[in-house]
């Protein structure tokens, strides 16, 4: 991530609502997007103490 874009994305996910973050995460996994992007989303989910098992049925 030498271009600095990684930092922009990292800061941007902080502005997503919890629900939108979860939706984006599930879509990224379903679409098999870049593993680094999925990990970034997962890190933010963990930072917010969101348990995916709690929201799967939501």
Model confidence pLDDT, tens digit, residues 9-42: 777 999 999 999 999 999 999 999 999 999 999 9
Q: Rounded to whole angstroms, how far apart are CA atoms 52 and 34?
A: 19
pTM confidence score: 0.75
DSSP code at position 57: T
**pLDDT (tens digit per residue) in 2-11:** 455 666 777 7
Q: Is the pLDDT of residue 43 over 60?
A: yes
Q: How far apart are CA 34 and CA 58, in angstroms?
A: 25
Per-residue confidence (pLDDT) for residue 58, from 0 to 100: 45
Rounded CA separation 40/35 (Å): 9
């Amino acid at each position: 991530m030498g271009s600095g874009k990684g930092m922009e994305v990292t800061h941007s996910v902080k502005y997503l609502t919890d629900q939108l973050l979860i939706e984006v995460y599930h879509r990224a996994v379903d679409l098999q997007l870049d593993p680094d992007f999925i990990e970034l989303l997962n890190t933010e989910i963990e930072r917010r103490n969101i348990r995916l098992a709690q929201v799967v049925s939501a």
